[in-house]
Chain A
Amino acid sequence: MIQMMRALGVTAVVVASSLGGQAVAQTKQLTLCWAAWDPANALVELSKDFTTKTGIQMKYEFVPWTSYADRFLNELNSKGKLCDVIIGDSQWIGGAAENGHYVKLNDFFTKEGISMDDFMPATVVGYSEWPKNTPNYWALPAMGDAIGWTYRKDWFARPEIQAEFKKKYGRDLAPPETYEQLKQIAEFFQGREIDGKKVYGAYIYTERGSEGITMGVTNVLYDWGFQYDNPKKPYQMEGFVNSPEAVKGLEFYKSLYKCCTAPGMSNAYMSEGLDAFKSGQVAMQMNFFAFFPGLYKDPNVGGDKIGFFVNPKQKYHFTQLGGQGISVVSYSEHRDDALAYIKWFAQPEVQKKWWALGGYSCHKAVLNDPGFPKSAPFAADFLKSMDIVKDFWAEPSYAELLLDMQKRVHDYVVADKGTAQEALDLLVKDWQKVFKEDGKI
């Protein structure tokens, strides 16, 4: 009897495990890789519809921004199979295309009737094309983003502050249109006591380790006239990267850092900016639009207390592009399912829901909707910003180019090493060396 019971038990275990194995084999699953931030939570919510429709389960690999590039570029370079679908940073596109990490999507787009004309032109160039301005697509524009600004609308609206500002500067205190105005406002608020608390003028990017200070500095330099190279002769950087205008722009960034930021902000990026703003420490904050829905909902500084404005202009008017495209990883063993996800995500209805949940759609069906500018307090500024975006190099050597710039500008802005002219001259030399090694000059 005991032997019979044992035999039955063993049989039950074998049957159960084989059934379980079948169940696992039948469950399709895709792994999506991205950064760990607010829009990723919105995407998790959105993707539930994809699972309902297709039965394909979604698994997520979200990594904090500071290690996002390290983690996923390592994964791609080692031909890892962790990610089936990846929302990779805009600057990765060159390397990912040339090294075969991403699946080229042209044939798929043609077959499925997905047209790049349905997406905002700046996002197609920024997130999908390599080489730039050629119809070679490696990603679908997924998350439109650019650097914008938030400000304390409630502080700006206080009559006593308004009066004092007008007396000092002879104009109304309002969101700045130029960087000169922004600096004046920042100086005005720096060290001021509001509601019994010492506050500071502005929050700007200064992070050293990944890409922080470069994103902040370029955002300002573009407006002064900085260019990556000669528009008529690619990779000729002398006189463009280190032009007198670029030097002035870099000097301005340093002066803004020195005069008007909170103490201890010598290595700060997105999350430190959010903390500074949410804790009521700063009057104005430079940050990506992706965070604005979350800030608007914040119980302490959101709602009526927060305002938004486009990156101010100076001689020119640009802003630093953020955002990412969604790509299929060529080492994925679930390529068809991954392409099915892209096809689903490209649908106008899905894109509308994406925006409603807190993601920034790049689809014209969403952005050209007459109601879009009023759909959120920052929507109109987002539209304006996406018309004036500029991005960092997207070359296969982008990581080296980025680290060179991180070092040179951090040395000058934060560590007080040398002059702006010297920093940009050295940057030109660094970049020339990289492009020379790449055989491009």
Chain B
Amino acid sequence: MSVFRSVNDRANMSTLAEQAVARTPRRLALRFRGLSDRAIAWLFITPSVLLLLAINIFPLLWTIQLSFTNYRANRPNAPIRYIGLDNYRDILTDTEVWHAMQATAHFVLWSIGLELVLGFGLALLINRRFRGHSVWTTIILLPMMLSPAVVGNFWTFLLQPQIGLFNSAIALLTGVDPSSFQMIGDVALAPWSIIMVDTWMWTPYVMLICLAGLRSIPDYIYEAAEVDRASPWRQFWSITLPMVMPFLMLAVLFRAIENFKMFDMVNLLTSGGPGSTTEVASITLKREAFEKWRTGYSSALAIILFVTVFGAANIYVKALNRVKQR
């Protein structure tokens, strides 16, 4: 029966192809008749390539060109001078830029570390398929479905010392006056506030990737380990962790790239303050480009950030491939 259906399908397909040929306008058909497969392939991908060139490659090349000039977008009448590597030299010797890079590194390392530990832990729990686990999965995933702008705004209220739920909760647990400390207005606590909010929002994402990794491990491996009387701890170190490792590394890669360019949530929570305590690189870039209008300088800064992320990501991907090959 299935053989007959297959033959019929093929017959129908051929009929459809013939119909398509028949319906193609004669002039168009004549035009395409002389084209090779390669030429037709190019014909199909050309729009995508052009679009990519227009919205990715051209701006990148233009930014590189601008980074060697003194151009300012708010001075349309001022002459544009090529100043060589001056912008790059100024950036690399600017203590404020290095401070922003340190703030970014602090934010990226701690938030990823926490998200990894918590996300993996949650994935291990959810993977046990207890009763109602799918409902809990949905609840846990909710924060990552929100917009970072919304998260930034409502956490600003939650962390408000007088009316904020967070301060009240801490007060309830510790007995301190809720308005005696402020999370986003304090130099010591503000960097931890943005790490905490990012962790709250993106731990579910890491959990999801880890869960995919855990579910990809075949059951027979654990069954074999149990036959060999391997303890749960031994199973975790020898089976679970190595097999989930590529997924963990992938989560780290995604989160590192995202957090390196984090802007909206930090901007809404602290605006880089107090002072410049939480001024991560993307906020510095925005201030230089669209508030101070130092277009040439900010283009150089953008290129430096791009090269940093691109270089680090490439090294990391190579490491990831090595882990996968093991």
Residues of A at the B interface (CB closer than 8 Å) are 70, 73-74, 77-79, 95, 98-100, 207-209, 262-267, 396, 399-400, 403, 407, 410-412, 414-417
Contact = CB atoms under 8 A, between A and B. Distances in A.
Nearest to A207: B271
A400 B291 CA distance: 7
A407 B275 contact: yes
Given A399-B293, A403-B287, A99 B274 contact: no
Contacts of B185: 264-267, 414
Contacts of B184: 266-267
B65 interface: no
A99 B275 contact: no
B77 A396 contact: no
28 contacts: A70-B291, A73-B74, A74-B290, A77-B73, A77-B74, A99-B75, A100-B76, A208-B275, A262-B162, A263-B162, A264-B162, A267-B184, A267-B271, A267-B273, A396-B74, A399-B74, A400-B294, A403-B287, A403-B291, A407-B275, A407-B276, A410-B276, A412-B275, A414-B274, A414-B275, A415-B274, A415-B276, A417-B275
Contacts of A414: 185, 273-275
Contacts of B164: 264
The 7 A-B pairs at the shortest CB distance, nearest first, are namely: A415-B275, A266-B185, A411-B275, A263-B161, A209-B271, A208-B273, A264-B161
A180 to B, nearest CB: 26
A77 B76 contact: yes
A77 B293 contact: yes
Nearest to B279: A407
A415 B186 CA distance: 7
Interface string B271-283: 1111111000000
B194 to A, nearest CB: 13
A231 to B, nearest CB: 27
A399 B291 contact: yes
Nearest to B179: A263
Interface string B139-166: 0000000000000000000001110100
Interface of B: 73-77, 160-162, 164, 179-180, 182, 184-187, 267, 270-277, 287, 290-294
A412 B293 CA distance: 25
A207 B272 CA distance: 11
Given A264-B179, A403-B292, A410 B76 contact: no
A99 B76 contact: yes
Given A70-B290, A263-B162, A263-B182, A411 B276 contact: yes
Nearest to B275: A415
Nearest to B159: A264
A413 to B, nearest CB: 9
A410 B182 contact: no
A98 B275 CA distance: 32
A88 to B, nearest CB: 13
A194 to B, nearest CB: 15
A77 B161 CA distance: 40
Contacts of A400: 292-294
B321 to A, nearest CB: 42
A208 B274 CA distance: 8
Contacts of B292: 399-400, 403
A415 B187 contact: yes
A79 B274 CA distance: 35
A209 B274 CA distance: 10
Given A267-B270, A414-B275, A79 B76 contact: yes
A186 B175 CA distance: 28
B268 to A, nearest CB: 10
Contact of B187 (A95, A265, A416): A416
Contacts of A264: 160-162, 164, 179, 182, 185
A77 B274 CA distance: 30
Contact of B273 (A396, A399, A410): A410
A74 B73 CA distance: 9
A334 B186 CA distance: 50
A95 B271 contact: no
A334 to B, nearest CB: 22
B86 to A, nearest CB: 11
Nearest to A191: B179
Nearest to A264: B161
Contact of A415 (B179, B180, B277): B277
Nearest to A79: B76
A99 B73 CA distance: 11
Contacts of A416: 187
Contacts of B186: 266
Contacts of A407: 275-276
A266 B274 contact: yes
